[in-house]
Amino acid sequence: MVASCAEKTYIATTIGDVVAAARISRTTFYREFDDKRACFDAALEHCIEEVRGAATGACSADEPPAQAVREATAAVLDLLAARPELVHLLVGEAIAVDPAVVERYRDLVVPAVSGLWGSDEEGETHLDPWLAFGRAQLLIFDRVTAGDAGGLSELLPEVVYLAVGPFAGHDAAIEEARACPGPVAGAAAR
């Protein structure tokens, strides 16, 4: 399902495509899923889990929050670079099938990142974390739709900036972005 949606989009995907790619019978398909949409929803859950696994596996709760964010972001970008079909499914296809899906996983990510910084500090309004998530998503989708999933790691400074800025402020976020390894100068020149 994931492969077919990434290749030809959800709408063009038939159950025939899915069973052929999975080398299972139609009977088996219908034993597992009521219909194409149910299969898509399950595939989506699977993608979300995969991304979550990469993020949580790359950092630990004892680290300083900025370091945890940097490591988790790098791991997620690596995963997406290796498997750009996840990006197609989680962004373009999710929007086509049901825009509410995007909100659902955003609601998992933002509190998780926010939690790294502990309870909210008083006063200061920094960047909006919910919007920062959408911005990061579009930067990633832009790379993948350009056919440059391999270059996703170049987005590390920007995604880290967006993940740190809402909680620690612009200045700290720029510092963290600057501290990211990778071809920062090349990315900035584009």
Q: What value does the CA radius of gyration of the chain take, rounded to a whole number of Å?
A: 18
Structure-token pair, residue 167: 């909680």
Cβ distance 55 to 76 under 8 Å? yes
CB 159 within 8 A of CB 139: yes
Phi (first) and psi of residue 131, to 5 degrees: -70, -35
Of 48, 161, 167, 168, the residue at the interface with another protein (CB under 8 A) is 161
Of 11 and 38, CB closest to another protein: 11
3-state secondary structure of 85: helix
Which helix (H) or strand (E) segment holds residue 91: the answer is: none
Q: Does 177 bind another protein (CB under 8 A)?
A: yes
Minimum CB–partner distance for residue 90 and another protein (Å): 12
Q: Which of 178, 181, 183, 186 binds another protein (CB under 8 A)?
A: 178
Q: Is 18 in the site for another protein (CB under 8 A)?
A: no
Measured from the CB atom, is 58 or 102 closer to another protein?
102
CB of 103 to another protein, least distance (A): 7
Look at residues 145, 142, 64 and name the one whose alpha carbon lies nearest to residue 158.
142
Binders of another protein in range 110-139 (CB under 8 A): 124-128, 130-131, 133-139
Q: Report d(CA 190, CA 183) in Å as an integer.
A: 11
> Which stretch, 37-45, 50-58, 70-78, 142-150, contacts another protein (CB under 8 A)?
142-150
Letter for the amino acid at 141? F
Q: Which residues bind another protein (CB under 8 A)?
A: 8-9, 11-12, 88, 92-93, 95-96, 99-100, 102-103, 124-128, 130-131, 133-139, 141-142, 145-146, 157-158, 161-162, 165, 169-171, 174, 177-178, 180, 184, 187-190
